[in-house]
Amino acid sequence: MRSYPRPRRALAALLAVGTLLIATACAGNNVAGKSNNSNQNSSSSTGGGSAAKGSLTISGQNFPEAELVADMYQQLLSKAGYDVTVKLVGTRDVYMKQFPDSVDVVPEYLGGIADFLNIQENGQNAQSITTPDAQETLKNLEPLAKKAGITMLQPSQATDQNAFFVTTKYAKKHSLSTLTDLGKSGEKVVLAAAPDCKGRTDCAGGLEKTYGIKIAKVLPLGYASDQTYQSVLNGESQLGETSTTDGTLSKQGLTLLADDQHIQPAQNLIPAVSTAFLNKHPDVADTLNKLMATLNTQDLTTLNGKVSNQRQKPEDVAKAYLQSKGLL
């Protein structure tokens, strides 16, 4: 998935370790590199720094947002003096096989890596350690990360959670701005979403139980997929699943409904670093924490839109953003 990222993201870890989490596509056993001169994820990329501090390897997932953030990491760490190689793959379980042994830094999502490490340590039926609160989730995550040889840096304000949208016309007609509004409206809806949405507390199950939304049917058309967008736009569905940083919605005449009762776990962007590498190179924390302190959800949404809608290259969008914030 970005398939599910994002998440993103939450999903990338909930099924992981045996099934796949954040992505539906299988990526093979070898980590594929990302070229700095093309949009393909199959060749090596190195930074333009002096490399005075030696080599550094970044890995992560290869959906557009994750690629964009990896480009930010690469450019900042190259400036800091590292010879950076970026290797992006399809799913979390692939790069986690090599992290932290042969991968030094990973752009992560808080709830996603928390769930992954929890399941890896405690099994598929482990009680979730994620919550809607970023600091609480980080506190729950840190003992598992420490045991795995991973140090979590500071989470960003930018968060990419699962989210739900309607057409702007439908929102205006029924005076909707939140999921609570939709539940109170009494409208029965068809939901276009990921195949495993039904029953999940962060998807159909939570929409029904927490918000009282009447879901007539769940159409398994995919997470933030073209089919899901089109299903909502043509009226086959009234509600669709995407992410909070989806930069394509406004252009399509779609509107997010706020998760005002917080059924989504925290999915803040957060750097994960090999503890052994960080002990030798503590400046990496300062470099990446400055980015985390700057980036917010609106920034990320806008940047995603430049990649999705304007077809700009992620590395170009990343560079322009970092320069605009005085980081590069």
Model confidence over 136-165: pLDDT tens digits? Answer: 999 999 999 999 999 999 999 999 999 999
* Structure-token pair, residue 246: 């989806």
pLDDT of residue 309: 87
- Among the ranges given (31-45, 77-91, 151-165, 217-231), the one the predictor scored with the smallest mean pLDDT: 31-45
pLDDT bucket at 308, cuts 50 / 70 / 90: confident
pLDDT, the chain, mean:
87
Q: Tens digit of pLDDT for each residue in 201-222? A: 889 999 999 999 999 999 999 9
Provide the H-helix boundaries in the chain.
Answer: 11-14, 64-79, 92-96, 110-122, 134-147, 168-173, 179-185, 204-209, 226-233, 249-252, 275-280, 283-294, 297-308, 314-324
> Could you tell me the two tokens for 180?
């609570």
- Looking at residue 52, its pLDDT comes to 86
CB 182 within 8 A of CB 213: yes
- Alpha-carbon distance of 71 to 86, in angstroms, equals 8
Q: What is the CA radius of gyration of the chain?
A: 19
pLDDT of residue 36: 37
Average pLDDT on 240-252 reads: 93
Residue 199: the pLDDT is 87
Contact residues for 46 (Cβ-Cβ < 8 A; gap 6+): 36, 83, 84, 85
User: What 3-state DSSP class applies to 254?
Assistant: strand
